[in-house]
Structure 1
């Protein structure tokens, strides 16, 4: 776990920096500098681009990680990487042609409730393309066990770019239309900088020789497209579908609530960058002992860290909504529901990495298709009944089902579970902290209340985690950085 903890720690700092910037953008700058309608439009563009990204990447970012360590000669490896660079074009070009030829039909379908989105479909396509190739180039360096720069670009760069654009909009240096063009430009620039870094780490040598296991590679890429699309869709289908049922400004309210809850996903996102190639290596080497150890330790570590973030969000949520515009306050229930979903995601550890890099990746597709259909049906039923709360509930149910099935499947196929007796201890600790701190507030303004309450929760939680010796890895980090021994 040494390299995992080391790079994950650096990636966690970077990711939190990114989310801190994102919080400023989401909670304050967007809400003050842009109308609710255009904020909802931005959320719709980015969510739809995220849904399209796995499809346009042709699953290459996962394929590189799964197969890279199986090639033992330079010629074979160069031929494989050459294929990976050009394979996304096999779907990107047809998708572009379909968009061009069927533009009017697509516009009429997507603008039934909000006509404004019809003018920005090509923004979605270009952003999705930039996101897709960014992930390809990031995977290119992940297999070299170098994730820190890529994680900085993934989590921080575009948020700094958006912040600059928002201030330019506020100062009237840009119009809203120019802001949206600049937003797309930020994602394109991020992709180009990742390309430069990837080729600096490992310069491509173009080879078009016959590739061993080509059939397996193409089959994996094709199936992982759908699996990856489903995993992304479950997270973003809510905002996409809300556009067809409610006013687009309410999509902005929902996006703010989801962003607050998504902070819980930071540790998983940070650790995932290095767990993917390590998991693939253990599976390719048939090293079950190391794989099982990584499974349990990653779950425990992520549960402890994400549990702390869960407490900070849930126990400060009322004060947090007191400092942002009042019209956004209807999203408190959304925060609770999505927070639970994100906490469960972290509890799975490297479960996704095991499934995506094993011979059982086809089952992810089967599970995903069923659950994606369930998510769509749940949104169709629950959004008209409960609005944005219904969409959050639909997402929570879909995530609970999807994750539970994946845990059961890994247990049956690998005879591994991520849970230990320490998992139960953390769960009890989280419940006790919620019961003790939720109704307790300092008699100060919201900002000071959040700071003081967060410090108090942090001290109590960290002290209990350390004294109970729940995780060797966490205790080692405490001792190393806080000089406790």
Structure 2
């Protein structure tokens, strides 16, 4: 337990540090140092690589974590580790071959609207394969109880190296085109470093052998590929669709807006790591009453915390964009960035709705029905692609954001109804309405006025006022018992009670 707590704390600190560096890169350095076109190009390349990554990894990073502990002897473990590394490489060969076979068709398809993509398309599978094997070797270290280094490379290392490359562009040590190639090299370097660390943790003894439970492994892998592909398409599919219908610069405006909105979903990560094993145990023991109570607690707690984050973003969004465009010189480009503020609201609301479902996903993936929900996810991706194809030509990046809002909302409602109908579990209570009301009232109070100061001071003062009022009102209405208990504990420590 000591190892788990120690590494969990370190990973939490690393994740937030990486997020801070990522915010600096995404909100300020990329737009100013690269410009909209090349920032959008870099974002598009990484988005497509992230989408195809599950095909190269074929789910082996998750399979390794799930099955490794089931092997008892060193020989069996060596065979399994060898299989998880070599099998994806074997299957990647035909995928790459098919890519070469239809290279001209693929090239025409992805570059017909934006010819600039043509010169860099080969970087996509290179980065995708690097991402895939990074995840596999990171999982290799995790199963041996060494999770911190890989998480550091993923959350901080990649972003710091990108930051250094951006500084190189600013100092004119490298060109913007050089940066795109260096970006690909950064992902490969991260793979090599993580692989070396994984081998340091556990020196491999590669064997050409098939594990005895290969049927179970391949079945599980299939569903993980499905799950990973759905998740990545929902995360990056809209950017890929934008490239097909609009000038690539629009991906830059859209990416900044979605990055800001994604902050709303950050609080759910820590809670899901905690409640997932608890949910699994309650499901296994068939303790549905306790599970229903946990469902409601996670829902309202995430709603309160996520509502606070969303409120802070929404009421300060205009000032935040003023800071983002400070370093830009083109008035037209400034207007285009400012025009994407609506995207923040639409993507943010979709993340907020998904957030208030609490441990819904943990419940679903611990039932015998999880396969059905995975196929439901595939259907959602088809719907999302269709909606993007309809709305992007009509409304541009606003249309893509609206398509994402509709898609994620439909998917969230479907998952909610699935749990309600199949398991008779309900996440919402009267306190859900109280929390919604508090958030809505404070938004109306603070969004439509600003302090007559510079944007940074404005954000600081409004955030302080919102924090005091939000915490006070939620505390007085006892919207969340757990959060009230935590506040009482803090107050006692500082001798206010």
TM-score, normalising length: structure 1: 0.88
What is the CA-CA distance between 1:178 and the residue it aligns to? 1.8
State the match for 2:416 in structure 1: 407
Q: Comparing 11-20 with 361-370, which one deviates more in the overlay?
A: 11-20
Matched, 1:102 2:111: no
State the match for 1:352 in structure 2: 361
1 CA distance for matches of 2:69 and 2:356? 27
State the match for 1:239 in structure 2: 239
Matched, 1:425 2:430: no
Of 352, 361, 364, the residue aligned with 2:370 is: 361
- Pair 231,13 (structure 1): closer, same or farther in 2 beyond 3 Å: same
Structure number with larger C-alpha Rg: 2
2 CA distance for matches of 1:373 and 1:258? 21
1:158-173 equivalence runs, <5 A: 158-173=158-173
Matched, 1:389 2:422: no
State the match for 2:314 in structure 1: 314
State the match for 1:228 in structure 2: 228
2 CA distance for matches of 1:472 and 1:140? 40
- Pair 153,419 (structure 1): closer, same or farther in 2 beyond 3 Å: farther
State the match for 1:441 in structure 2: 450
Of 321, 324, 342, the residue aligned with 1:333 is: 342
State the match for 1:46 in structure 2: 46
Of 330, 351, 369, the residue aligned with 1:342 is: 351
Q: Comparing 286-295 with 79-88, which one deviates more in the overlay?
A: 286-295
2 CA distance for matches of 1:140 and 1:456? 46
Q: Comparing 231-240 with 9-18, which one deviates more in the overlay?
A: 9-18
Q: Comparing 16-25 with 298-307, which one deviates more in the overlay?
A: 298-307
- Pair 418,57 (structure 1): closer, same or farther in 2 beyond 3 Å: farther
| Helix, strand or coil at the partner of 1:113 | coil
Q: Comparing 200-209 with 52-61, which one deviates more in the overlay?
A: 200-209
Matched, 1:114 2:123: no
2 CA distance for matches of 1:4 and 1:408? 35
Q: Comparing 331-340 with 436-445, which one deviates more in the overlay?
A: 436-445
| Helix, strand or coil at the partner of 1:416 | coil
| Helix, strand or coil at the partner of 2:418 | helix
1:19-38 equivalence runs, <5 A: 19-38=19-38
1 CA distance for matches of 2:145 and 2:355? 22
2 CA distance for matches of 1:118 and 1:382? 25
- Pair 200,311 (structure 1): closer, same or farther in 2 beyond 3 Å: farther
1:200-279 equivalence runs, <5 A: 211-272=211-272
Contact 2:83 2:211 in 1 (8 A): no
Contact 1:142 1:273 in 2 (8 A): no
Count of matched residue pairs = 485
What is the CA-CA distance between 1:6 and the residue it aligns to? 8.2
Q: Comparing 360-369 with 169-178, which one deviates more in the overlay?
A: 360-369
State the match for 1:379 in structure 2: 388
Contact 1:12 1:267 in 2 (8 A): no
Q: Comparing 135-144 with 377-386, which one deviates more in the overlay?
A: 135-144
**Relative contact order higher in (CA < 8 Å, ≥ 6 apart):** 1
List per-residue Cα deviations over 1:55-80 (Å, max 9, x = no partner): 22112233334445555666555544
List per-residue Cα deviations over 1:141-178 (Å, max 9, x = no partner): 55567655444333222121111111110100111222
Contact 1:58 1:221 in 2 (8 A): yes
Q: Unmatched 5+ residue regions in structure 1? A: none
State the match for 1:124 in structure 2: 124
- Pair 212,346 (structure 1): closer, same or farther in 2 beyond 3 Å: farther
Q: Comparing 129-138 with 437-446, which one deviates more in the overlay?
A: 129-138
What is the CA-CA distance between 1:37 and the residue it aligns to? 1.1
What is the CA-CA distance between 1:371 and the residue it aligns to? 0.9
State the match for 2:407 in structure 1: 398
TM-score, normalising length: structure 2: 0.86
What is the CA-CA distance between 1:378 and the residue it aligns to? 0.3
Q: Comparing 80-89 with 213-222, which one deviates more in the overlay?
A: 80-89
- Pair 413,191 (structure 1): closer, same or farther in 2 beyond 3 Å: farther
1 CA distance for matches of 2:62 and 2:469? 40
- Pair 102,131 (structure 1): closer, same or farther in 2 beyond 3 Å: same
What is the CA-CA distance between 1:281 and the residue it aligns to? 6.6
- Pair 460,90 (structure 1): closer, same or farther in 2 beyond 3 Å: farther
List per-residue Cα deviations over 1:255-279 (Å, max 9, x = no partner): 1111111111222344455666666
1 CA distance for matches of 2:25 and 2:312? 20
State the match for 1:194 in structure 2: 194
List per-residue Cα deviations over 1:405-444 (Å, max 9, x = no partner): 1222233444434445543433232222212221132121
List per-residue Cα deviations over 1:357-376 (Å, max 9, x = no partner): 54433213320121111101
Of 461, 469, 477, the residue aligned with 2:470 is: 461
Matched, 1:184 2:184: yes
Q: Comparing 176-185 with 420-429, which one deviates more in the overlay?
A: 420-429
2 CA distance for matches of 1:84 and 1:312? 43
What is the CA-CA distance between 1:210 and the residue it aligns to? 5.8
Q: Unmatched 5+ residue regions in structure 2? A: 326-333
State the match for 2:59 in structure 1: 59
Contact 1:40 1:252 in 2 (8 A): yes
| Helix, strand or coil at the partner of 2:122 | helix
